[in-house]
Amino acid sequence: MDPQQLLVVLSYTFSPDQAQRKQAEDAIKTLPTVEGAPLALLQIVGAKEQVGREVRQAAAVSFKNIAKSFWEPLGSITGEKCVPTASKPAIRDLLFQALLVETDKSVRDLLAESVHLLVRTDYPAHWPGLLPDILACVQSGDPLRMHNALLALRKVVKRLEYKMKEDRGPLEAIVGTALPLLEQLVRQLLETQNNSLEAALIMKLCLKIVWSCTQFSLPNGCGDGSNPALLAHMGQWIELIGALIAKPLPEASEPDAQPAGQPEAAEERAAWPWWKLKKWALQITQRWFHRYGMPQYADDESRAFAAQFSAVHAPALLEPVLAQLSLGPQVVKGRTVAPTFAWSTWSRPCSYFKRLLCAAAVCFAPLSPTLAYAAPTHTHPPPPRPLPARKQGRYCTDRCTHLCLVYVESAVQLGSTYKLLKPHMGPLLREVLFPQLCLKPADLELFESDPLEFVAKQNDPMEDFTDPKMSAMTLLESVMKYRKKDNLDPFLGFLTESLNEYAAAPPELKNARKKEGVMVALGCLAELLKKNQKYAAQLEPMLVAHVFPEFKSPVGFLRARAASLTQYFYKAKFSDFSHVALLLQHMLEALRDPCLPVQVEAANGLRCLIELKGTEALITPVLPQLLNEYFRIMGEIGSDSVVSALETIIDRFGDELAPHAALLVQKLAGAFLEYASEASAGEGGEGSDEAAMAACGSVDAITTVLSVIVNSDACPALLAEAQPFLLPVLALILDPSGDNLEYLESGLEILTFVTYYSGDDGEGNRQTAGQRAALKQAAASVMAPYVNFFPALVHAFHNWAYDYIEGMMSPIDNMIGCASDLFLQSVEPTSGQSFVMLTLSMVDKVFNNGGRNNGKESICATHLLLSLLHNGMPAKLDSALGPIMELTFARLNPAPKATEVLLRVPEGCAEGQPIQTNIHGYEASVPCPPGAQPGCETRVTLEVPPMPVGPKLKTALLQVVASAFYYNPMMTLAWLEARGDTASFFNAWFVEMDSQGAEWGHLAAKLHVLALSSLVALPPAQLPNFLAQHLAAMLAKLVAFTKAIEDDNKGGTGGEEGEEEEGEDDDEDDDEDEDDEDEDVEDGEDDDNEAGDGDAADKVELAYQESLKDMMKGGARMRSAFAEADEDEDDLYGDEDDYSSPIDDVDQLLLFFAALQHAQAQHPDLMAQAQAQLPPEAQAACAELLQKAHAKQAQQAGVEGA
């Protein structure tokens, strides 16, 4: 392709003429199919002097899209549409060369991402020269080429970092060749004191590469010590990282200080390359410490590294980490001042850090200004915020502070580092940790100016990974968990002194921020204080004296914190119920507080208070007003926690709320539609995430209200009243676009509720067939609008919701069962397909979905077939009986299937050599295909053996066949005869009946009785020869199944009642345990986690490390385990008692009796011969069943006559 022509087309995409622009955009879409287009695009990207920046960006984007979708066959993209293999080497070479010299950050990032996309398929097999080329550029001395080459290397290792252990060979090669070179580069930059921004950017990339190489696993031979040189090399990296942490970053106002140019604004500081470099150094440090550096958690593969790190590096790194923490502010008397806490008395000097930072006579080429650092820009630059006072005028970013606190949290658990920390724990907790618990000036400003954003930030789960406050809370909990004896009493003394100081101070001198920080600390210690008798008795007076008054505080954030503490201390042992009533009153008043954060905290806390005994009577009279306040708050902010709290209240007061259920559904449906619209319009921002979670909470609350409705005596009327509000909710969730997938699970639950009508009369008594028919007719009229959603369900299943087959089963079964006439007669208007055939298309996809199908999903599909057959009688399903049998027999006897799989070719494997692989849980040997490159993945088409039919799936499939015989035995036999499978099927079926014996469930046994009875009752002329010859065997099995059910019914009399009574006793025991939970406090110290001065170990962490180790060993074994898990068919779709269909009204004993009477009349000689061939015990059982059936028939006739 001519690059000049392509340049013109790209230029036209920026044309103000809409028609011209549209024509150019359409031409760009065809580029993947144009020969030479990738090379032409890269040539345009590289023409920096001749081509404008925006056109070069467009060319880079177009190339990236080709690399993403058309480099290798993917999905619907076949090999013919992909980039030709012959042109790929030239493209790869030109891409790398263009990246090396690119100075524009946006274009450079696009080219780097393109390298990442090509690496996923080409490295190392098809691109073996990439790593040598990168390393040559790193050693070139040209800063621009060095930086961009490192960027390419970062993309390579980022692609490899998630590989399983057996696939990490290419990454290990990079560790062995690249990391030593990068270590020398970083050391050289440090020793020459190169303080340019370019040096920071280069060292930051080096650390990011180290991070990707070690994030999930240490290099081979490093962790276990089998490669001492590599272990020593990692130690050198730790020393360099420590030097980077210790490197001072002076203020811009300090004369002649280096590195110079630190920005003033906090946002720009966080993006400054030197702070970003320090952030990556701290991130690697805390990761290595937590994951590999603790002997108590180390496995055999990391024990040597853990021993060296814990003994040598962890104590040495503690000094620069704590030095960073000492730069942060503290809160004293309402002012932000520098901490008095200093580390001049540190007991272990860190001399090698100082040695690394001293100047050396090593020259390094001056860095070129072409590698520019782009500071964040603002359309309207905000005024610089005043900087808090800091020790010696220095500053530490929040992210670095967070990582430092995480490191200290690990140091608390390690004995060698805790011994160094122990003398300083008091100042550390008071002057370093505690200030991080207090609200910062920026938070106070946000509280006042933008309460919505303040609440969103407080509830943002991502803050747990970045906010120093969250890491400080975690550190405090760990200190009190593992080192409680040394630190709990002194720290509680500090908190008590602070509370008393605040209480005694005049209003103008009260330090509200410090008081709020104390309350945060108390919340962190709540569980510990409640479980220790020494402190538990003091909680009630503490709350009354120091927390309750803050509900009336003029300071809004103190009122919010007081409401928040309710969630931590509501289970404190209150000796005076009036205090509980007072707390409840405060919380109810807080719902109408002028500050939105106070309202939100009160709404969240009330769901805890309603669990306390005695509060129900206080809340019930004001329940309508309470709900109005919740809906008002939900209208102001999309908070999922508030919606969740409302759901808890609805669940708790369900009986009282039943008359208002339709109004609740209306309010919640409106809230859901509003939140979902906000989330969709937000396009993935933080606000849209919060709105999406609130929408999920709203739709979950709807299901809670529906659970109240379906248990109400006025269920049909209430559902009809709520229907207009539910239909828009379901329509949005089932939108064909699939954009609302996150709400689908709750939407299916709503559909299940509204389409469910029990066969009970509300008091646990079974209804008669006539009563059930009347209820079914009434239900069908209510359900008709919901049945119309069935095509949308099928569309979702086929296009974007296959994983939800289990959730779809219940509403579809309800549609078939409760509105069977409507469902069986309905047709999808667009395609003209009947609902029955749409159902069979779902079953077909499950049964024939390659390696995805498993026992659970297939059994769900058979359940749909059962529902169709049981509700299709009589003669409503004749046209679908053949397809049902075809699907069932195809799954019962699966054949091998040609499947395209991704095969990894081992190193050194030649063409034709066997490759051991795992396909859908099966170990297989596959010959190496022609042209496959060792060390890479290639696509091959194989005859994959079918997944085995497990025993429960086989039972489910045989239930479908039995149901078909009961539906229409003559049509089903005719279908078998046409296939010539009659003898083979019945032989296999009889064997299956004998092999399972008493293991058949009630439903399967009943279906076998119905099927065999239907077959026995057929006229002799319609019986195939095989069945006529085996009538005795069929009769014996019919007798056995019928007797088993009757014996089970006889033996189960009173069983359910006994089980219910036992269940009630269990519930009472649970209630007693819950009541006693508050009294389960310890008389003295809890030493379970106390470790003295030694290493502390967390059982949860140990379990996590063990599972992580198993996963890293993973590979084929893990994939096989997942495959086996898929075949676990326990708890497939609940108790059989939950399944309801018209066969519930069929008395199998009377059907058995009628079948034998009919057979006796039709062919007496044949029946007499068959009965004579029965074993004596079968003959006796048959006589007993006939006598019992005759008596039952006579009894029913007498009742009807009366």
Closest CA to 1017 of 1153, 814, 831: 1153
* Least confident piece of the model among 234-243, 255-264, 871-880, 1098-1107: 1098-1107
36 sits in the region (left: phi over 0; alpha: psi -120 to 50; else beta) called: left
Q: Which DSSP state fits 570?
A: T
What was the pLDDT predicted at 1200? Answer: 58
Q: Give CA–CA dist 935/168, Å, rounded.
A: 10
Whether residue 987 has pLDDT greater than 50: yes
How confident is the model over 177-188, as a mean pLDDT?
95
Indicate the range of 78-82, 124-128, 290-294, 737-741 predicted with least confidence: 78-82
Cβ count near 826 (within 10 Å): 19
H or E stretch covering 937: strand 937-944
**The residue to which tokens 């309508």 are assigned:** 624
Judge whether residue 343 has pLDDT over 60. no
pLDDT digits (tens, 9 = 90+) for 880-926: 999 999 999 998 888 777 666 667 777 677 777 888 776 655 667 77
Please count the residues of the chain: 1202
Structure tokens at 842: 């779902």
* Residue 110: pLDDT band with limits 50, 70, 90: very high
pLDDT, residue 780, reads: 63
pLDDT at 340 (0 to 100): 39
Structure tokens at 598: 């106070």
Question: For 470-490, what is each residue's pLDDT tens digit?
Answer: 999 999 999 999 999 999 999
The dihedrals phi and psi of 428, each to the nearest 5 degrees, come to -60, -45
Would you state the pLDDT for residue 1116?
Answer: 41
497: confidence class by pLDDT, cuts 50, 70, 90: very high
pLDDT score recorded for residue 1000: 75
Q: What is the pLDDT of residues 249-282, one digit of tens each?
A: 988 888 888 898 899 888 899 999 999 999 999 9
H-only helix segments in 920-981:
951-967, 969-979
Question: Between 508 and 1056, where is the model more confident?
Answer: 508
Is the preceding omega at residue 124 within 30 degrees of 0, hence cis?
yes
Average the pLDDT over each of 21-30, 340-349, 637-646, 661-670 and give the range with the smallest value.
340-349
- Mean pLDDT for the stretch of residues 42-57: 93
Closest CA to 590 of 617, 566, 623, 571: 566
Residue 236 makes CB contacts below 8 A (sequence gap 6+) with: 183, 187
Q: Which residue has the higher pLDDT, 1161 or 1196?
A: 1161
Q: Give the phi and the psi of residue 922 in degrees, each rounded to 5.
A: -105, 135
Give the count of beta carbons closer than 10 Å to the beta carbon of residue 498: 19
> What are the tokens at 737?
């676009």
- Name the least confident of 20-29, 61-70, 663-672, 1191-1200: 1191-1200
Q: Does 622 score more than 60 pLDDT?
A: yes
Bigger pLDDT: 1131 vs 835: 835
Pairing mode of beta strands 922-927, 335-337:
unpaired
Give residue-wise pLDDT tens across range 802-833.
Answer: 989 999 999 999 899 888 889 999 999 999 99
For residue 939, CA distances in Å to 116, 384, 771, 930, 1113 come to 20, 57, 60, 11, 24
Give the count of beta carbons closer than 10 Å to the beta carbon of residue 592. 13
89 has pLDDT over 50: yes
pLDDT tens-digit profile of 535-593? 999 999 999 999 999 999 999 999 999 999 999 999 998 999 999 999 999 999 999 99
Contact 124, 167 (CB under 8 A): no
* Residues 108-126, mean pLDDT to the nearest whole number: 93
**Residue 28 CB neighbour total at 10 angstroms:** 21
Q: What is the dihedral of CA 440, 446, 448, 449, to 10 degrees?
A: 150
Which backbone phi and psi does 914 adopt, to 5 degrees? -70, 140
What pLDDT is stored for residue 772 in this prediction? 57
Q: What is the SS3 string spanning 888-901?
A: HHHHHCCCCEEEEE
H/E run at residue 740: none
Q: What is the pLDDT of residue 854?
A: 63
pLDDT value at 241 more than 90: yes
Question: What percentage of the chain reaches a pLDDT higher than 90?
Answer: 51
Give the pLDDT confidence score for residue 937 in this predicted structure.
Answer: 67
pLDDT value at position 81? Answer: 72
Band (pLDDT 50/70/90 cuts) for residue 1105 is low
Amino acid in the structure at residue 430: R
Task: Give 718's pLDDT tier (boundaries 50, 70, 90).
Answer: confident
The amino acid sitting at 141 is G
Which residue blocks in 570-639 are alpha helix, DSSP H? 577-590, 596-609, 615-619, 623-636
pLDDT at 51: 92
Question: What pLDDT shows up at residue 177?
Answer: 94
When pLDDT is cut at 50, 70 and 90, the band that residue 1052 belongs to is: low
- Dihedral angle sign, alpha carbons of residues 1106, 1107, 1111, 1114: positive
- Hey, what's the torsion of the CAs at 1108, 1109, 1112, 1113, to 10 degrees? -150
pLDDT over threshold 60, residue 998:
no
| Residues 781-798 pLDDT 10s | 677 899 999 999 999 999
- For residue 286, pLDDT over 50 is answered with yes
Looking at residue 963, its pLDDT comes to: 95
Scored b (16 or more CB within 10 A) or e, 792-802 reads: bbbbbbeeebb
Of the segments 633-637, 1036-1040, 1072-1076, 1097-1101, which one has the largest average pLDDT value?
Answer: 1036-1040
DSSP for 145-180, written as a single string: HHHHHHHHHHHHHHHHTT--GGG-HHHHHHHHHHHH
